[in-house]
Each structure stands twice: as structure tokens, then as C-alpha cells.
A and B are shown apart, each in its own frame.
Chain A
Amino acid sequence: MADELRILVDRRRFLGLGGAGVAALVLAGCGGDGGGDGRTQVTAPPVAKAPTNLEGALNIYTWADYQNPDNVKNFSKANKNLKVKIDVYDSNEAAIAKLELSGAKAGYDIVVPTGVYIPQMVAKGLLQPLDKSKLPNFAKLDPKLLNQPWDPGNRYSAVKDWGSTGYVYDKTLVTEPLSDWAGFFRAAAAKGVSGKVAVLDAPADVTGLAFWREGIDWNTTNPADFQRAEQILTGELVPHLKAFNSFPRDGLLNGEYALAQMWNGDARQVLLEDPDRFAWVLGAPKTELWVDNWTILKSAQHPQAAYAWINNVLDPRVSAAEIDYHGYNTAVIGTEEFLPKDLRQKELIYFTEDEKARFVPGSVANQDQVTRLYNKLKAAASK
């Protein structure tokens, strides 16, 4: 039951329903999550030292199921029972719309946007520049993930975690070992797999399948590129598609899907459940790099607590507990030594340099074209 419901609360989407109330309900229903999904290997660490003049509360606006509750509890306890409230959203666009419309009244201090959305949030005047002197642990972030095109010099953001896209397949149904996006398309068309294929319910990730495979710039705005992508996707993918599903874990485990596009952290959960039956492939030759970021709102009413929180989660020990919980790399250097040596499916968290070379950061420049193509694919799939 909890597994079936989890489809509602994956990291990136929440079915697009904007129901924070449901999130609370579902999360409560799934309380004690962690049995058997590999989240229990690390005990929550102590809290990094914080200044003593913190406000008594902190309101975080973030993705669902994206925060180790033990870290929240410890932070609160270490700071005179500071009240941490976490509210969730289902998409960057929805979060931005809400922040923009209700302004300071929304009452949030910290928000966790995906990198490519930071420029528009800055333009809308939602974010305040980060005072790095209040974030000594900022120095522990991997410089390779800093200074991205969406926030040069990290004026407004500190990396929360990052990840990429690939796919998971059922080895009992896909017999050929796969290694890239071309393999994904080949397997999708194979007998026994066709009709049991899921892709993410995220426009840029689905259109990306064609761009990444063909080595076309993911951020292209060239109509010819989109025509090519449409040809590929409607011809080679749509006929075999079973669902657009951002959390295909359960579908894979119960045999509804034989092949599913996934983000690495969610894919890791599948492999933890049944490593013999499933295999993971990181997209190639190119694939996505997404980065979610800590930002502080201009309207924050508890800025000191916000800084203390961010500084705390950037501590390698605390960060290790975060990784252990959500399965995404936090970009904090030195987390590995606080995780068990035999941490399972580690290679889905710590990518090799060779794998990192495939990463392409996104943008919102072609958002309209991507959405149009995506809706075309959905319409074609419903026929």
C-alpha cells in the first residue's frame, strides 16, 4: 500500500496536484519508511555548531520526502527546540507561482529550486544573496558543481544535491546488456518489452531522450531539432509506451514495466530491492545534470535560522545522513567516510569522472517547445 502511494510523492513531482495536505497525509501514512529500502544504514549525526542568536522557527519549502527527518529533529533539539516546519511543492513552476503570488505572506525562509529556475526567481526579486561568511561549510562543496550557468559565482544558491537520468531494466525480460540511450530505444521495441515501457512524467527528460541519444544540444531552440526529436520519439518510443510515470519503482517491481527511465536516486531504490533482477544504466552519450539548491527568500523572517540550517546540512557528517536517506549525492566533499564501506549501490550516488563527462545542465530557454512536443507525444500515446 505504502509503495503504491509513493508514486504520489517522488522527489520531482507530486502528480502536479499541488496538494500539500495530501503530502502530509501520505507521508504520515508511510511513517517509518525505511524498512528494506536501504535508508537505515547510518545513524543521524550531531549538529554543526550554530550561532546562538537564532530565531525560534524555520520554514522550509521543498520537495516531498527529500529531507532526513533525523537531521531535522537533531537540528531542532540542538537549537533550543527551534520549530522546523517543512512544506512541500510538486514542481518548480508551482512553487514559484505561489511565492510570487503570496509574497512574504507565504512565510517561507528556505526554498529548494532546481538550478535552471534560479535566474527567473532572481529576476522576480524572490531570493536574497547568500552571505557566505555565515556559511563556513560552503567551502566543503565540490567546486565542480558550483558556478553553474544559472547562478555564476553561487551568489544566491548552495547545492543541496544533484543527480542525473538513466534507466532501469528487468534482466529477465531484456536479455541484451545495455549501456546507452540507443540501447534504451532498442530494448523498448523488443518483444516482451514493448508495451511495458515507462518514461518520466517530466517534459524535458522525455524530449531529452532523443536529444541526448543523437548528441543534439539539450537546450536547443532550433525547430529542425525538435522535428527530428518528434520523429524519433513518436516513431520509436510512443508505440511501446505504457506510462508517463515519475516513480516507476513499484511498476518495475511488480512486473508492470520491463524498462523505465529513472532518476538515479529512485533507480537506486529499485536496485536495493532486487539487485539480481534489475540493472541500471546511466544515459549515454549525453544525459541530464540537474542540481537542486538551497536558497534563502528575500522575505525570510528567520534568516539566521536559515543560514544555520544550510550550514548544518553542508557538514559532511550531516550530509552523509542526507545521502543515506534520499540517495542523491549532496556535492559535499568527504561524505563517503561517514557512510558504511559496504554502502549498497554506491555507484548510483558517486559517479565516475567518465560518467560525469556525459552530464549536460539544462535551461528553460526551450520550455515552450519542449512542452508542445511533450503534449504531442502524450496525445500520440493516448491514441
Chain B
Amino acid sequence: MSAAPGPGGAAAAGPGARRRARLPRFTLAAPAWAWYLLFFLLPLVVIAVYSLGYKPPPGSGGSIGLDRLSLDNYTTALGDEVFASTFVATLRVAALGTALCLLIAFPVAYWLATRVDQRVRGLLLGLLIVPFWTSYLLRTFGWRLALAGRGFPSEILQDLGILSGPLSLLDTRLAVQIGVVYNYLPLMIFPLFVALDRLDPALREASKDLGASRLRTFVQVTLPLAMPGIVAGLLLVFIPLSGEYVTPAILGGARGLMAGSLVASQFLEAQNWALGSAMAMVLIAMVLLTIGVLALVGLGVRALVRRARRVDLAAAGPVPQARPAAGRAAP
């Protein structure tokens, strides 16, 4: 889906101070462009075209019919109450998962960026990546062991007398939620850490010197400056989570149906590539729409807050001329 740039956007092209006959500037970006063109845009176009086709009768030899194009698949996908209800369930898992990731990741990222010794920090960040050494699938599968009634957490809690019987979370929606938060957490921590790490401690000190409480410093200084990281993290987690189908398939049992599984089932079970493509397009559109609405809401809230704050500052009387300590640009 989105090319998810690093926090704060990709670094701008270096200033061409000395102009010489050189390769054009975009050369540096060319590999990435070529990659996305070939492996993202082109397949997307293929999917878009397929979504207008139809499923040929079985035994006819083809996998997709493209000789007459129509929007029939979209009518089918949108008119299907299963698709609609599953999509709502998917959004719920994705939204809750993203929110949990943010809530869990922010304190950790903040701690790593502000409280941990430089020398230890690299090690701790490295540890965050350690789980990625194992296949995503196997890690998720590991949770089956932990969440089963005879899994070790349940056994330990029973041994301690906290539980009277085995606790099985396997094949429940809670299991899916635990699984996705586990799998996506690092994707939230890293952009948050980068954003918070770039935040000059002097800014927080200045805020304190000017009499702001800890909470106010956090809300008015730290949080706005961390915003690019938060947004990047939210997108990095929310978008793939909306298309997720592995974790629910492994941990959710009968309760794990997500929109991604519906798309997959059209390709792998119904052999209906056309309808599967249309469903995928609808899924993409709906995720984009959701993000668009959220972004608008976010911008609206920010505008309101700014207006309110301006009034607040004006009422507080003349403001001491406080220059930002370092040359870092505040938004």
C-alpha cells in the first residue's frame, strides 16, 4: 500500500551546491521508483484490470476472463453482507491493535530515547529486532503453545493458585488481538524512537524553565514534536494490519475471519480471481478512506487546538522571548 516513508518524510535531496554535469538528481531515487513501479504499481494495475473480468467456467482452461469487462464484481463484493460485516470486524481488530501498539510502544520508545544510556541503547534496540530472526509464521505459531489450556502461562498461573482450571485463550478474538499486537509492536516502537530521539532535551528543559508542568511539557512540546513518528507508526501498523490474515487464521479459530482471508479464499478456494481482485480493490479503497477520514479529523483537531491555544497565550499576557535552544525547526 503506501510506500510508508521514514518518520518526517525522506530526507530532501542534498543541495546541489556546485553544479557540474552530473546524473539527474532523481537517480538516487531511481532504484526505489523502479522497484515500486514493477512490484507495486504494476501488480496493482493488474489487480485493477482483473477486478473487471469474470471467472471462466471450470474446465475451460483459463483462470480469468477479460474479453468483456464490467463492474459486476464490485456489485457482488459491496452487496455481500459477509464482506461488509467482516470488514467492520477487521477494522475493529486493526484499530484496537494499532491503539494498543501505540499505548505500549510510546512509553518504551520514550524511555529508550530519553532515559537509557547511549551505550546500552544500541543493544536494547538490537534486542527488539531479535524476534525477527525467526519466521513470522513460526513466531505466531509459538503463541498457540502459550495460549493453549496446557500452555505454560496457564500452567504457571494454576501452580500459583491464581487459576483453578486451565485457561485457554486459543481460538478467541483476544488471542488474535494479542498476536497482532505482538507482531506489530516493533513497527510502532522504531518510528517513535527515532522521532523522540531527535527531540532536543533542551526544548523540554526550556518548557520547564518557563514554568510548564510535566504534563503540559509533554502535551505541548514532546507530543507535537513526536507527531511525525506517531503518524508513521500508526500507518505502518494500521495498514498491514487491515490486510492481515495469517495471525487470525492461526490464533483465531472460528473467530478469526478477516477481510484478508475473504480475498484469499476467492483466489485459493473459489478460484475466482476476478471477484478476489475486486474485493482487494475495495479493501484498499476502504483502508485509504479510513485513513483519509482520520487524517481530516486529526487536522481539524489540530486547527482547533491551535486556535484555542493562541487565545490562551494572548490572555496570559506578554510572552518572554524564548528562542528555541538549538537550530531545530519546530513545526
Contacts and interface: CB of A to CB of B under 8 A. Distances in A.
A222 interface: no
6 contacts: A4-B144, A5-B141, A15-B249, A256-B148, A376-B82, A382-B254
Contact of A93 (B144, B250, B267): B267
Most-contacted residue by chain B among A8, A244, A254, A379 (CB, 10 A): A379
A124 B61 contact: yes
B170 interface: yes
B310 interface: no
B114 interface: no
Contacts of A269: none
B59 interface: yes
A119 interface: yes
A28 interface: no
Given A123-B59, A245-B253, A368-B55, A379 B86 contact: yes
B141 A93 contact: no
Given A16-B268, A244-B253, A4 B149 contact: no
A25 interface: yes
A125 B63 CA distance: 13
Contact of A375 (B82, B148, B254): B82
A25 B256 contact: no
Given A8-B141, A256-B148, A371 B269 contact: yes
A91 B137 contact: no
Nearest to A373: B82
Contacts of B270: 367-368, 370-372
Interface stretch (B21-29, B188-196, B257-265, B291-299): B257-265
Contact of B262 (A4, A17, A94, A375): A375
B259 to A, nearest CB: 10
Given A255-B149, A365-B58, A374 B254 contact: no
Given A1-B145, A8-B141, A382-B89, A241 B254 contact: yes
A244 B171 CA distance: 9
A96 B254 CA distance: 28
Nearest to B55: A368
Contacts of A365: 58
Nearest to A90: B268
Contact of A381 (B55, B257, B265, B269): B257
Interface residues of B, number: 45
Nearest to B84: A379
Nearest to B248: A382
Interface string B267-290: 111111000000000000000000
B61 A381 contact: no
A4 B135 CA distance: 16
A378 B261 contact: yes
Contacts of B256: 382
Nearest to B86: A379
Main secondary structure of the interface of A (DSSP, over half): helix
Most-contacted residue by chain B among A7, A125, A255, A382 (CB, 10 A): A382
B86 A93 contact: no
Contacts of B174: none
B268 A382 contact: no
Contacts of B80: 372
B212 to A, nearest CB: 47
B254 A94 contact: no
Nearest to B85: A379
Contacts of B268: 16, 91, 93-94
A27 to B, nearest CB: 13
Interface in A97-149: 97, 100, 119-120, 123-125
A203 interface: yes
Contacts of A371: 265-266, 269-270, 272
A46 B287 CA distance: 59
A378 B257 contact: yes
Contact of A119 (B59, B254, B265, B267): B59
Contact of A367 (B58, B135, B141, B261): B58
A91 B61 contact: no
B150 interface: yes
B51 to A, nearest CB: 16
A85 B63 CA distance: 28
B208 interface: no
A256 B264 CA distance: 27
A242 interface: yes
B138 interface: yes
B135 A254 contact: no
Contacts of A370: 270
Contacts of B250: 15
A254 B85 contact: no
Contacts of A364: 58, 271
A16 B264 contact: yes
Contacts of B55: 368
Given A368-B270, A382-B254, 19 more contacts: A1-B145, A4-B145, A91-B268, A93-B267, A100-B63, A120-B61, A124-B62, A203-B265, A203-B269, A238-B254, A364-B271, A367-B269, A371-B269, A374-B265, A375-B86, A378-B261, A381-B255, A382-B89, A382-B173
A25 B141 CA distance: 13
Nearest to B249: A15
B321 interface: no
